[in-house]
């Protein structure tokens, strides 16, 4: 189907759902709307829906977790929110959220995120991860892909995955899984592990290729074939991260394009901003060319010039300084303190699983770097996705009902401010895009990236009757990130209300601590 036809069919589905909801309850869209009552109403806000182009003063009525009415006149409900002077938009959908713990989810809620998915890394076993998060409860919706890397580590190191990100950190002490080819038997077994994850409802296949750049092309081909067969996307952190050929970022993206062409799989490239290094202009041409010829290659980026990963990662080994286009140990920081060559080497040997921040560009110091970052962030059709990290304190990952976070809690500031930073910097201050287009990157585009394989996403990322009531109500004049690389532990500001499945998790700018309305985003489970 063409994009337009897909959209038309989709709009009809949402409208049908909506008419059922309205018919069951009220005359919500008729002149008598004021008589209808809803669970929650948001009255008189500037309602923006990127799919239909709606950008007007409207009132939104919510019933049973869904949008039940959108009215030009005020509505009545059990809870009435005056949204005058505020923007009402679909809640932000984050395709790239590693912090799948309660503290991380709360920090993201302040950033306007209503759905946070771990798709780049993914997880195994998939059921264990959904069970754990479901038991704990979340303020925002959550979900996972099936992890190729976890499967590879399991086969290469005989370590059984734990269903948590700490498995990846622990594996940093071993190296075999990073550099050696998988035998045909190992490939068959690791593909089976990933397939099992998909059968357990995973949203796609997470491919942390950059952490195991020694994999073979036939292994990557087998994974892409699996994705095509199961009709799910892959989410790839491309290998190499280098401006120097061979083994360049350009070559790695060309590999992704070839896999999309040969298998028909939907190949999604994560954080185009960081893994492209300074080759963004050519890589953007490569991706746009593939897209123009109908290949299903999509992208995302986050609006920062620094990344975050483990200090033992392969991308800081060998001649990494040259490969990154001229980096130094001082571009890498641990809890705000830059490394020297000596301290970096020591940390790589002793604590390879420690989270660090690595500057790959300096947009604050260099207009040329800012222009490169902008090109990746403003890629046509690209999503904004955070790559949000777990929060740590005293070397321990923060989990459970810890709030507020302890004063020394640390993570990359993108974990608390990606979306509000984009709205402040790219939309309000530098006016790179109109608000509706900026919102599209955080709502509709990520929903569309997933909705072909994840039916739940068809009713997210939109403000339309029948859509899920995942909504943000924010002040466009003040919405902003606050966290910095040295003091990241600061919630974003400007989100007045954040509503998930009809329930407020941020109310009047404050966290509703006992609100846990987040639901799993999951494909149907075909094995038990
Ligand atoms: Zn990554």
In sequence order, which residues have a C-beta less than 8 Å from that of residue 423 and are 6 or more positions away?
A: 435, 438, 474, 476, 479, 480
Rounded distance from Cα 387 to ligand 1 centre (Å): 7
pLDDT at 528 over 90: no
Rounded distance from Cα 496 to ligand 1 centre (Å): 31
Please write the tens of the pLDDT for every residue from 337-365: 999 999 999 999 999 999 999 999 999 99
Rounded distance from Cα 477 to ligand 1 centre (Å): 32
CA–CA separation, 130 vs 123, rounded Å? 10
* Among 515, 476, 524, CA closest to 200: 524
11: pLDDT confidence band, cut at 50, 70 and 90?
very low
Please write the tens of the pLDDT for every residue from 38-78: 999 999 999 999 999 999 999 999 999 999 999 999 999 99
Rounded distance from Cα 145 to ligand 1 centre (Å): 14
Rounded distance from Cα 271 to ligand 1 centre (Å): 7
27: pLDDT confidence band, cut at 50, 70 and 90?
very low
Rounded distance from Cα 232 to ligand 1 centre (Å): 19
Please report the DSSP string for 7-49 in residue order.
HHHHHHHHHHHHHHHHHHH--TTSGGGGG-EEEEEEEEEEEEE
Rounded distance from Cα 170 to ligand 1 centre (Å): 17
pLDDT at site 239 = 95
pLDDT at 4 over 70: no
* Among 330, 239, 314, 332, CA closest to 277: 239
Rounded distance from Cα 402 to ligand 1 centre (Å): 26
Question: CA 195 → CA 114, 225, 270, distances in Å?
Answer: 28, 11, 21
Angle between helical axes of 444-451 and 435-442 (0-180°, round to 10): 30
On whether the CB atoms of residues 68 and 26 are closer than 8 A, the answer is: yes
Rounded distance from Cα 180 to ligand 1 centre (Å): 20
pLDDT at 18 over 90: no
Rounded distance from Cα 237 to ligand 1 centre (Å): 5
pLDDT at site 330 = 96
Rounded distance from Cα 435 to ligand 1 centre (Å): 27
Tokens of 21: 């909801």
CA–CA separation, 58 vs 87, rounded Å? 10
Please write the tens of the pLDDT for every residue from 81-113: 999 999 999 999 999 999 999 999 999 999 999
pLDDT at site 527 = 84
Please report the DSSP string for 271-319 in residue order.
-HHHHTGGGHHHHHHHHHHHHHTT--EEEEE-S-SEEEEETT-GGGSSS
Using DSSP, how many helices (H) and how many strands (E) does the chain show? 17, 23
Residue with tokens 């185009």: 272
Rounded distance from Cα 270 to ligand 1 centre (Å): 7
Rounded distance from Cα 504 to ligand 1 centre (Å): 31
> Cβ of 375: how many Cβ atoms within 10 Å?
17
Please write the tens of the pLDDT for every residue from 385-422: 999 999 999 989 999 999 999 999 999 999 999 999 99
Q: Is the peptide bond before 404 cis (omega within 30 degrees of 0)?
A: yes
On whether the CB atoms of residues 310 and 169 are closer than 8 A, the answer is: yes
Rounded distance from Cα 388 to ligand 1 centre (Å): 10
């Amino acid at each position: 189907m063409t994009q337009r036809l897909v959209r038309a069919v989709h709009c009809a589905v949402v409208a049908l759902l909506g008419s059922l909801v309205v018919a069951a309850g009220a005359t919500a869209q008729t002149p008598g709307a004021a008589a209808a009552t809803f669970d929650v109403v948001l009255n008189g806000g500037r309602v923006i829906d990127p799919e239909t182009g709606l950008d007007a003063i409207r009132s939104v009525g919510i019933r049973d977790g869904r949008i039940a009415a959108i009215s030009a006149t005020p509505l009545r409900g059990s809870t009435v929110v005056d949204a005058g002077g505020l923007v009402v938009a679909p809640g932000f959908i984050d395709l790239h959220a590693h912090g799948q713990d309660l503290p991380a989810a709360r920090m993201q809620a302040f950033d306007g995120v209503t759905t946070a998915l771990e798709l780049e890394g993914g997880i195994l076993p998939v059921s264990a991860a959904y069970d754990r998060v479901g038991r704990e409860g979340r303020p925002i919706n959550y979900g996972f892909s099936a992890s190729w890397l976890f499967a590879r580590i399991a086969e290469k190191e005989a370590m059984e995955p734990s269903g948590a990100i700490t498995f990846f950190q622990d594996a940093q002490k071993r190296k075999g899984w990073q550099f050696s080819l998988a035998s045909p038997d190992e490939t068959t077994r690791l593909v089976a592990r990933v397939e099992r994850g998909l059968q357990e409802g995973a949203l796609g296949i997470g491919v942390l290729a950059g952490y195991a750049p020694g994999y073979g092309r036939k292994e990557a081909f087998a994974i892409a074939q699996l994705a095509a067969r199961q009709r799910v996307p892959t989410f790839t952190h491309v290998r190499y991260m280098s401006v120097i050929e061979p083994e360049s970022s350009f070559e790695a993206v060309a590999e992704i394009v070839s896999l999309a062409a040969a298998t028909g799989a939907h190949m999604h490239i994560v954080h185009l901003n960081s893994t492209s290094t300074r080759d963004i202009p050519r890589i953007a041409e490569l991706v746009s060319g593939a897209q123009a010829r109908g290949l299903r290659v999509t992208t995302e980026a986050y609006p920062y010039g620094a990344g975050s990963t483990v200090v033992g990662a392969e991308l800081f080994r060998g001649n990494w300084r040259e490969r990154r286009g001229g980096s130094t140990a001082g571009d890498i920081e641990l809890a705000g303190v830059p490394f020297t060559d000596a301290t970096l080497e020591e940390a790589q040997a002793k604590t390879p699983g420690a989270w660090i921040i690595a500057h790959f560009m300096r947009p604050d110091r260099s207009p040329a770097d800012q222009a490169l970052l902008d090109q990746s962030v403003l890629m046509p059709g690209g999503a904004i996705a955070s790559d949000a990290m777990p929060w740590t304190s005293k070397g321990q990952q923060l989990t459970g009902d810890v709030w507020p976070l302890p004063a020394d809690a640390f993570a990359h500031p993108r974990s608390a401010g990606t979306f509000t930073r984009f709205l402040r910097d790219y939309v309000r201050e530098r006016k790179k895009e109109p608000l509706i287009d900026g919102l599209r990157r955080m709502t509709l585009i990520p929903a569309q990236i997933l909705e072909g394989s994840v039916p739940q996403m068809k009713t997210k990322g939109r403000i339309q009757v029948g859509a899920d009531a995942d909504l943000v109500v924010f002040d466009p004049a003040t919405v902003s990130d606050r966290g910095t690389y040295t003091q990241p532990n600061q919630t974003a500001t400007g989100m007045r209300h954040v509503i998930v499945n009809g329930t407020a998790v941020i109310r009047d700018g404050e966290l509703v601590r006992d609100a846990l309305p987040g639901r799993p985003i999951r494909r149907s489970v075909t094995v038990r």
